[in-house]
Amino acid sequence: MTEQHLAQNTENSLESPTLARRTFDSIKSDIINGQLAQGTKIVESDLALKYGISRGPLREAIHRLEQIKLIVRIPHAGSRVITLDTKMMEDIYTARESLEGMAARLAARLMPEAEILALSELLDQHEASISETEGKAYFQREGDIDFHFRIAMASRNQWILENLNGELYQLIRMCRHQSGQFPARAQTALDQHRQIAAAVERRDEELAEILMRRHISGAWEIVKKILEDQND
């Protein structure tokens, strides 16, 4: 277990100049893909040993993880990996609906033609990947996030971009991972993405926002059902 983390560290050592940052990345992916289960108690000395570093940088990593809400922390009492419940996910999807709706509006106003073209090509790729023999569930997920990421980028709004990327998408990724495979909604999602892209291309801010909000609240309805079915 130590070896894999060492490998990961040396692998990331180019992109993250600081030890705390690299550890943050490591723990983050460990949480997102479930290697650190929800509700796990975090003991600083144990984790420091596991990742082969001292408590100082580990502490910094934990604090950053707390800020993006992957870890819950109580002074003097310790910290645990977050446990996703339905209410929290609803809050997150609602906030995302609001923020990404605005992002779509801004994208319709500001996105350069070249980027719109590239977005359209991305959707073509997705179309192709759906036609291929399935099993590309993972690819579809990342493709979905990719589309939403580009809209967020196009908003040219730093605050919205950072919060979607840094916090909301992470939690949604985690939720998806824990909930296992999702139903084959890929075609529906792609159609909606196309409509949104079309609205952006027509510079129809109002429509772009409305469609994005519908798209996300629709996604939430499905996630919600899955979460509720799991609680049986």
- In the complex with a copy of itself, which residue's Cβ is closer, 25 or 127? 25
What are the Cα distances from residue 192, in Å, to 113, 148, 172, 188?
A: 20, 12, 19, 6
Applying CB under 8 A, among 49, 95, 122, 227 the residue interacting with a copy of itself is 95
For position 163 contacting a copy of itself by CB under 8 A, the verdict is yes
For position 45 contacting DNA by CB under 7 A, the verdict is yes
Name the binder of 180 from DNA, a copy of itself, none, CB < 5-8 A by kind.
none
C-alpha 14/C-alpha 1 separation (Å) is 22
For position 4 contacting a copy of itself by CB under 8 A, the verdict is no
Q: Of the candidates 212, 68, 98, which has an alpha carbon nearest to the alpha carbon of residue 160?
A: 98
Phi, psi of 78 (to 5 degrees): 110, -175
Q: How many CA atoms lie within 13 A of 28 on its CB side?
A: 21
Name the binder of 45 from DNA, a copy of itself, none, CB < 5-8 A by kind.
DNA
Task: Compute the least distance from the CB of residue 173 to a copy of itself, in Å.
Answer: 16
User: Residue 168: how many CB atoms within 10 A of its CB?
Assistant: 20
Q: Which two tokens stand for residue 226?
A: 């899955």
What residues line the site for a copy of itself (CB under 8 A)?
17-18, 21, 56, 59-60, 63-64, 67, 69, 75-76, 88, 91-92, 94-95, 97-99, 101-102, 106, 157-160, 163
What residues line the site for DNA (CB under 7 A)?
17-20, 42-45, 53-57, 59-60, 74-79
